[in-house]
Amino acid sequence: MQTLMKKVPELSILIGLSIVAYFVMGAFNQVEDAAGLTGDGAFVLVLASFVLSTMIAIIAVIAGVGGGVLFTPIMMAFTSIDTLIIRSTGLVVAMFSGLVSSGPFMRKGLADVKIVFYCAIPIILGGMLGSYAAIALSEVMGAQGDAIVRLLLGLILVFIAILFIVGGSNTEYPEVKKVSPFSAWVNLKGAYYEESLGQVVHYQSTRVGLGGLLFLLVGFTGGFFGLGGGWAVVPVLNLVMTTPLKVSAAGSGVLLAMGNSAAIWPYIKYGALIAALAAPWMLGQVIGGIMGAHILARVKANFIRYVLIVLLFLTSFKLIARGLETMLGIDIPVL
Amino acid sequence: MSQQSNNEEPRPEIPTSGVVYGDIIYWGTIASAIIAVIGQIISFLTPNSAISPSILLAKIWEGKKVDGIWAGSGMARPEGEHWYIAQLATGEGLTMFGIALGVFIVIPAILASAYTMFTREGRPFFGVLAIIAALITIASFMGLLPSPMTAG
């Protein structure tokens, strides 16, 4: 930890500031009591959110996904908070874990700026459309809309968990059999230094047309459900566009931040992003994201992946059950 | 064709456009996190704050819809504007400004990266893609696209 602090002095400043901030907020709390929540209760909620967010960020970074994949489903499954509020906060969670990783990935040359800007347009457009659709659905359908969102999100989580189980099919250095004329024209060629091999690895991305279409879908899903899209960006870059796994993972963090930035503004302007709830989650993502990125090399990522798979399945059952309960007016005793 | 590796080749040069983008984002995010923390401290140390965090949090956890959450908090629900700019003196407004800064920082980072692509790296195609990405994000930031939302 001390080495980490020396290596990343800004992390020490942020952690120090957070400790002082939460101490001062707790010790000199002036927040008045509200119906159902005392001023001290409000502080405990904020502190707990920050701690939980830091833990989620560390797990998410090690598992190679955005924090939104854990935050949004868990909050939707196990709390009564309005789904629009959860989704807007989920986008902040997903975005800030991507934001802090963008700098190191770009400086090391792992994220390919050409791939990033090619994929950015569909993912940004999709994300914006998704957030507009989420707000429209919430206004038009109310509780039924929330039930549909929970049910669909539950099904998507099952899909993501399966994707993680068969994730072994991700290829470190995918074989490129044929480069289509369009891919050759776009020319997403690059090279990076692979530390583990001690060699320069050259690559060329293919099927970039199909990849662009899939990114539109990934962006929409991320913006609509407030998940971010890290879980889907890596498979599209690696399996569809034949980009090396390391470049795909680094590009995923950068694209996540870029795509979500356009998706968040409609929520902010609608008043669906509430700072009192979102700020501790955002701060936890920044601190946990930096810590996770640096301890990644020293932990067994597979163990974290198993934890994530179990969490995703458990949460999906609860989400599907809650969605069906509201839609059909029945009671399903799950969890 | 396989992805090739070569152990005699020097390390590839890291594109300046990527470094410029990454640095602006990284330090912008840290600045936004610090502003958000200061905003939160102000929220919790201000007696009878103009926008009450406890009322907002209580209503959020009760499961109220967006309109219901803002009602009684000291401020009406925002209707399509950057409401926090006018509320920078309040903890809640400053905290929201910190978050919004982190979201906004992507725009200058993309534009600076595009500028580097045009002027230093000679990659006009990807520079144009970056400009398009920035314009879409600016359209979202300014609320230029027709919105599905209605007030009240």
CA-CA distance, A160 to A167, in Å (whole number)? 10
- The per-residue pLDDT for B3 is 63
Q: Please, which pLDDT band fits residue A293 given cuts at 50, 70 and 90? A: low
What mean pLDDT comes out for the span B64-71? Answer: 87
Identify all chain A residues contacting B137, using CB atoms and an 8 Å cutoff: 124, 258, 261-262
Identify all chain A residues contacting B103, using CB atoms and an 8 Å cutoff: 92, 95, 260-261, 264-265, 268
Higher pLDDT, A273 or A296: A273
Cβ neighbours of residue A217 closer than 8 Å, sequence gap 6 or more = A126
- The per-residue pLDDT for B5 is 62
Torsion sign across C-alpha atoms B66, B70, B76, B79: negative
Identify all chain B residues contacting A96, using CB atoms and an 8 Å cutoff: 29, 33, 102
What mean pLDDT comes out for the span B3-18? Answer: 79
Q: Which of A17, A79, A269 to probe the B interface (max B CBs under 10 A)?
A: A269
User: Does the distance separating the beta carbons of B46 and A41 come in below 8 Å?
Assistant: no
Higher pLDDT, A2 or A320: A320
The answer to whether A32 touches A39, Cβ cutoff 8 Å, is: yes
Q: Please, which pLDDT band fits residue A335 given cuts at 50, 70 and 90? A: low
According to the per-residue pLDDT averaged within each range, which of A9-13, A207-211, A326-330 is highest? Answer: A207-211
CA-CA distance, A219 to A95, in Å (whole number)? 12
| ipTM metric | 0.88
Cβ neighbours of residue B102 closer than 8 Å, sequence gap 6 or more = A95, A96, A99, A282, B28, B29, B32, B33, B36
pLDDT higher than threshold 70 for residue A264: yes
- The per-residue pLDDT for A284 is 92
Average pLDDT of chain A is 83
- The per-residue pLDDT for B151 is 38
> Closest approach of chain B CAs to the CA of A148, in angstroms?
16
Q: What is the pLDDT of residues A96-108, one digit of tens each?
A: 878 887 888 888 8
Six token digits for residue A100:
């802090």
Helices (H) and strands (E) in chain A, counts: 12, 2
CA-CA distance, A51 to A132, in Å (whole number)? 31
Cα dist from A260 to A57, A87, A90, B100, B145, whole Å: 17, 12, 10, 12, 16
CA-CA distance, A206 to A218, in Å (whole number)? 18
Q: A109 — contact with chain B (CB < 8 Å)?
A: yes
Q: How far apart are the first and last CA of chain B?
A: 59
Cα dist from B62 to A247, B55, B58, whole Å: 43, 10, 6
> Closest approach of chain A CAs to the CA of B119, in angstroms?
16
Cβ neighbours of residue A166 closer than 8 Å, sequence gap 6 or more = none
User: Backbone dihedral region of B64: left (phi > 0), alpha (psi from -120 to 50 degrees) or beta?
Assistant: beta
**Which residue, chain included where needed, has tokens 């939980």?**
A52
Every domain of chain B and the residues it spans: 20-76+83-103, 105-144
The answer to whether A116 touches A105, Cβ cutoff 8 Å, is: no
pLDDT higher than threshold 80 for residue A265: yes
Name the phi and psi angles at A332, rounded to 5: -110, 110
**Which residue, chain included where needed, has tokens 């008043």?**
A271
- The per-residue pLDDT for A296 is 61
Helices (H) and strands (E) in chain B, counts: 6, 1
The answer to whether A179 touches A188, Cβ cutoff 8 Å, is: no
- Give the distance from CA A214 to its chain's centroid: 17
Buried b (16+ CB within 10 A) or exposed e, B61-88: beebbbeebbeebebebbeeebbbeebe
Pairing outcome for strands A189-194 and B5-6: unpaired
User: Does the distance separating the beta carbons of B62 and A109 come in below 8 Å?
Assistant: no
Higher pLDDT, A8 or A39: A39
Closest CB from B10, B65, B81 relative to A269: B81
Q: Please, which pLDDT band fits residue B98 given cuts at 50, 70 and 90? A: very high
Q: For chains A and B, what is the number of CB pairs under 8 angstroms?
A: 320
The answer to whether B77 touches A271, Cβ cutoff 8 Å, is: yes
Higher pLDDT, A163 or A52: A52
Task: Name the CA radius of gyration of chain B, rounded.
Answer: 21
The reported pTM is 0.86
Q: A15 — contact with chain B (CB < 8 Å)?
A: no
Q: At what angle do helices A245-270 and B124-142 cross, to 10 degrees?
A: 30
Q: Chain A 164-223, CB below 8 Å of chain B: which residues?
A: 173-177, 179, 190-194, 197-204
Q: Please, which pLDDT band fits residue A231 given cuts at 50, 70 and 90? A: confident
> Closest approach of chain A CAs to the CA of B120, in angstroms?
14
CA-CA distance, B28 to B102, in Å (whole number)? 6
The answer to whether A71 touches A203, Cβ cutoff 8 Å, is: no
Closest CB from A100, A124, A279 relative to B137: A124
Mean pLDDT check: name the lowest of A142-151, A167-176, A205-214: A167-176
Q: Please, which pLDDT band fits residue A49 given cuts at 50, 70 and 90? A: very high
CA-CA distance, A190 to A242, in Å (whole number)? 12
**3 state SS of A88:** helix
Torsion sign across C-alpha atoms A156, A160, A166, A169: positive
